[in-house]
């Protein structure tokens, strides 16, 4: 599945640096399916260690649902990492990402099971659930 046809209608290659020490990633081509995020620069698609890449079968159900149904609801939100306590949102369109407190980062509980989405009046908060998000309620208790 490819998204990004508006920017790059056809992608034949994805570029990365030659080694991990230069932030390059090693992917086992034709062996696994991957989620790969990156950027387009001068007509080429690039990815690296700072981008989100993962074997598709290692994504949680919440992450798959997020990619297909939820993450777009957070396009007006900013995710602000929290490295040490206390952490506070400085605007209504921020979600505080606390996975960094436990050194898990991209593979932490919040990243695996929650989506930052925009709620009523532009407020952003973390959402986890099976039903479609209720945009009239702000649940500030989830992480």
Note the pTM of the prediction, 2 decimals.
0.72
In order of their start, the domains of the chain are 1-57 (2.40.50.120), 58-142 (3.90.370.10)
Contacts of 20 (CB under 8 A, 6+ apart): 26, 49
DSSP for residue 31: T
Question: Does 142 score more than 50 pLDDT?
Answer: no
Confidence tier at 23 by pLDDT (50, 70, 90): confident
pLDDT, tens digit, 9 for 90 and up, residues 61-103: 999 998 888 988 999 999 999 998 999 999 999 999 998 887 6
pLDDT, tens digit, 9 for 90 and up, residues 2-18: 677 777 778 888 899 98
> Which uninterrupted H or E stretch holds 64?
helix 61-65
Going from the C-alpha of 59 to that of each of 46, 66, 73, 119, the distances in angstroms are 21, 10, 19, 25
> How many CB atoms lie under 10 A from the CB of residue 50?
10
109 phi, psi to nearest 5 deg = -60, -45
pLDDT, tens digit, 9 for 90 and up, residues 127-138: 986 555 555 544
DSSP for residue 67: I
* Predicted pLDDT at 31: 93
């Amino acid at each position: 599945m490819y998204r990004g046809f508006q920017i790059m209608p056809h992608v034949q290659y994805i570029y990365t640096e030659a080694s991990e020490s230069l932030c390059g990633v090693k992917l086992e081509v034709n062996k696994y399916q991957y989620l790969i995020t990156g950027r387009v620069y001068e007509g080429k698609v690039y990815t690296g260690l700072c981008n989100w890449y993962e074997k598709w079968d290692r994504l949680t159900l919440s992450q798959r649902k997020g990619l297909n149904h939820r993450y777009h609801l957070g396009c007006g939100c900013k995710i602000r990492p929290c490295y040490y306590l206390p952490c506070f949102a400085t605007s209504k369109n921020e979600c505080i990402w606390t996975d960094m407190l436990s050194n898990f980062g991209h593979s932490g509980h919040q990243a695996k099971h929650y989506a930052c989405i925009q709620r009523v009046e532009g407020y952003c908060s973390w959402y986890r659930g099976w039903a479609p998000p209720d945009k009239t309620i702000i649940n500030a208790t989830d992480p």
